Structure 1
């Protein structure tokens, strides 16, 4: 297992020079759509990761259409200058940082719905649209897009990191739900991958290659995803447990019995305490499962009764049902705010997060030892997880100016990931590799697989201008 890299090591790559000729060319092409203002550059030089020392980009292009993206990439390619795509800025592993300087392309203005094909259950959108904006646009048609990573992330960013979230146990991840892409390559060429058809055997699966590539192989300008009918009935429930193990055993038995639960989220006592304070709730401050059931009224009732029976066998108590949209929204909003609630509980802190995923049968093993280590460290932390598919997140709340505390948190992260890999899991279930998980990817995939990834990267991006310094080192 590779030793965890320090922030200094990860950011030690020398920035590439950005010639004035490129800045002048971008100003001539884009006018007010291009900014070299320090405030704008600094805004685009940070994300939600623990990295605070990365340099800002040399300039920011505010793209409004595919041609804008293609032209910006062509100019950057001519000068061999890095290009980083920017969506909502909510990434947690340093994906958006301009570690080798370069130009950031902000796609927030590319937030239109291009076409809805309700009969085929597909929608094509621009990359800057967020998941909430997408769902607001289609709710009147009785459809929804289920991938929900918590933050109101952009669809482009979710595609780039192969995101999943709270609904993945039933509806899958971005990998299963992206059907087709329009992509700007490193040379500025615009290509299309995939179709609106539900399956294909035509050649290499370039769509799957691009999904999860974290901006290192191309920039998305159009994305076609699957939609789903809004379920006839939806019910949510919360249940408190005497221990994390009891809650996890409930989840494992629920999944192994084949209950088609739509969402099942775990919050430890620390997370519940933070949520209570931040969202003004009065939940019992014990490990808690937040569940949701989709289907017909009869099937939802049957699913809920089955899970309630399983939970009772493991000491589950205070079952609270939420059948109205307002009640469900209150509970899920609190869950989605768990990260911000935790950060607010220690003013001035930075959060070092991890998101390992293990086979569901090994979830208890992975969680319990990690919790014991976190408790022994005395570093404030919280635990949340999309535990229905074996995915969980530990967040360590550190003083960014305390080098020892940062090092201890990174060591906890290191131990947690090593445990997940030993149990047959992965170093990242949904956040992606970015900067933070580069060493762990080598441990997981092996040198041969990393060499194959490098070969693909060199073939598609020979000048290494697309988000360089992420996923693996060339």
Structure 2
């Protein structure tokens, strides 16, 4: 924790810069020390709400001068302690920087401040015929989504944040402001700095603008659910749809336990069986053809028939239920905390990975509903634990370790979209080995005094002790 005498002096200078938008109110600090992650809360020493990039630049220069750590903060929906203030310091809450700065409808791109959320952005795009498709479930901020390389339910068709961020404006650790690229859809000009900062979790700089690709709003949208006799049949259907080249927009898996939670939480009446949620985008004839092909694949695997959501209200209710699986899962065990994690494997290995995982859950005597973006091999578990039961927590952590080892053995990754944060540091070392040393070298070059979100992604020096939680 930063010495309070130092914080007092810095706070006085911050107040001179931004007035009451710098605060040490205990409730504000506590709110910025926690997220939806299961990791222990770690509040900052001060929270500042900047209005623009120039204020961010001046604040960062002050922190560089004084050695105060900086933790950027968006909507607080991260799941691996990505925005926990491990060393105290200053939290930059970007929520006031939530404007659309420039819309280029002809080029299908938009430049925004990082604090705008995906729903706020799409609300402002509604009358343009364009939309931004990346949907991680939570109404996350665009800056946070870029920082964690988010993806979500529509990544199978539209890609992830790394595919949809054209350029960034970033404040570096010494206060310099850089732009990583122009608006051109492709470039061979130097290092790809945009993708360096996308996924860096605020450890290399503070994102102050994001230029995004937009996509045409589909003329027609069909959504449906289909239950299956077992998990294997559902996963094999998802794989079959992808391998058949059907351009599905979303294909999501909920296991039987998660369907029970969703039915109770969202007042739905679907079968409590492994279920796929589908969505198809395109022309009316095109989506009808896509849906018919997907139905045929599902029928071959014993699918129990499609139930359609045809009106916008029905589709919204269906996908809102999918987006609220965290809260639906928690309802399965009142009073529990959710250890939420994700892995991703090549889709050809997904059935094997999920089948072994389901067996491991049962043998571990854990309640851990599954939800997955199975179209790209990514799935999540909500491991529901009693926070007062040390033995159960130990079982859950051991299971989590086996889950990641299984994904790595199947040529997958320890995280498809949550990021590393503080929770998966050891797993990143297992996954990439000496490549992590290259990351350390980049960090040292851009942030030599380690003030940018310290303690995230990797330890500053190889061989340091375990991650703080």
Above 0.5 in TM-score? Answer: yes
Asked whether the equivalents of residues 2 and 45 of structure 2 are also in contact (C-alpha less than 8 Å), the reply is: no
For 2:325, the equivalent position in structure 1 comes to: 338
TM-score (norm 2): 0.96
- Deviation string 1:398-439 (CA, Å, 9 cap, x unpaired) is 111222111111111111111111111110000100011100
Measure the CA separation in 2 of the matches of 1:57 and 1:407. 28
SS in 2 for 1:119: coil
1:73 aligns with 2:63: no
Asked whether the equivalents of residues 238 and 321 of structure 1 are also in contact (C-alpha less than 8 Å), the reply is: yes
Asked whether the equivalents of residues 166 and 263 of structure 1 are also in contact (C-alpha less than 8 Å), the reply is: yes
SS in 2 for 1:355: strand
Aligned-pair CA distance for 1:190: 1.0
SS in 1 for 2:313: helix
Measure the CA separation in 2 of the matches of 1:445 and 1:430. 16
For 1:261, the equivalent position in structure 2 comes to: 248
SS in 1 for 2:180: strand
1:407 aligns with 2:364: no
TM-score (norm 1): 0.95
Aligned-pair CA distance for 1:323: 2.2
1:295 aligns with 2:282: yes
Measure the CA separation in 2 of the matches of 1:367 and 1:354. 14
For 1:273, the equivalent position in structure 2 comes to: 260
Picking from 36, 53, 57, the partner of 2:24 is 36
1:157-172 alignment to 2 at 5 Å?
Answer: 157-172=144-159
SS in 1 for 2:278: strand
SS in 2 for 1:194: coil
Q: Which runs of 5+ in 2 are unaligned?
A: 461-469
Aligned-pair CA distance for 1:344: 2.7
Measure the CA separation in 1 of the matches of 2:67 and 2:2. 9
1:46 aligns with 2:19: no
Asked whether the equivalents of residues 299 and 305 of structure 2 are also in contact (C-alpha less than 8 Å), the reply is: no
Range that drifts further, 172-181 or 61-70: 61-70
1:237-252 alignment to 2 at 5 Å?
Answer: 237-252=224-239
1:452 aligns with 2:442: no
Picking from 215, 222, 225, the partner of 1:228 is 215
Aligned-pair CA distance for 1:17: 3.3
1:374-413 alignment to 2 at 5 Å?
Answer: 374-413=361-400
Question: Which contiguous aligned blocks of 4+ residues in structure 1 show a shift greater than 4 angstroms?
Answer: none
Asked whether the equivalents of residues 17 and 101 of structure 1 are also in contact (C-alpha less than 8 Å), the reply is: no
Asked whether the equivalents of residues 259 and 270 of structure 2 are also in contact (C-alpha less than 8 Å), the reply is: yes
Measure the CA separation in 2 of the matches of 1:414 and 1:17. 36
Asked whether the equivalents of residues 166 and 185 of structure 2 are also in contact (C-alpha less than 8 Å), the reply is: yes
1:109 aligns with 2:114: no
Asked whether the equivalents of residues 42 and 56 of structure 1 are also in contact (C-alpha less than 8 Å), the reply is: yes
Measure the CA separation in 1 of the matches of 2:243 and 2:43. 48
Asked whether the equivalents of residues 173 and 205 of structure 2 are also in contact (C-alpha less than 8 Å), the reply is: yes
Measure the CA separation in 1 of the matches of 2:42 and 2:211. 34
Measure the CA separation in 2 of the matches of 1:373 and 1:333. 29
SS in 2 for 1:105: strand
Aligned-pair CA distance for 1:75: 0.8
Aligned-pair CA distance for 1:114: 0.5
Aligned-pair CA distance for 1:346: 2.0
SS in 2 for 1:381: coil
Measure the CA separation in 2 of the matches of 1:184 and 1:349. 40
For 1:361, the equivalent position in structure 2 comes to: 348
Count of matched residue positions in the alignment of Structure 1 and Structure 2: 458
SS in 1 for 2:81: coil
1:468 aligns with 2:454: yes
Aligned-pair CA distance for 1:387: 0.3
1:436 aligns with 2:423: yes
Q: Which runs of 5+ in 1 are unaligned?
A: 1-14
For 1:21, the equivalent position in structure 2 comes to: 9
Aligned-pair CA distance for 1:70: 1.1
SS in 1 for 2:200: coil
Asked whether the equivalents of residues 17 and 81 of structure 1 are also in contact (C-alpha less than 8 Å), the reply is: no
For 2:106, the equivalent position in structure 1 comes to: 119
- Deviation string 1:59-81 (CA, Å, 9 cap, x unpaired) is 00011111121111111111111
Measure the CA separation in 2 of the matches of 1:63 and 1:397. 37
Picking from 261, 269, 284, the partner of 2:271 is 284
Aligned-pair CA distance for 1:16: 4.1
Measure the CA separation in 2 of the matches of 1:186 and 1:344. 42
For 2:295, the equivalent position in structure 1 comes to: 308
Q: CA RMSD in A?
A: 0.9
1:371 aligns with 2:358: yes
Measure the CA separation in 2 of the matches of 1:435 and 1:401. 22
SS in 2 for 1:158: helix
Measure the CA separation in 2 of the matches of 1:383 and 1:279. 17
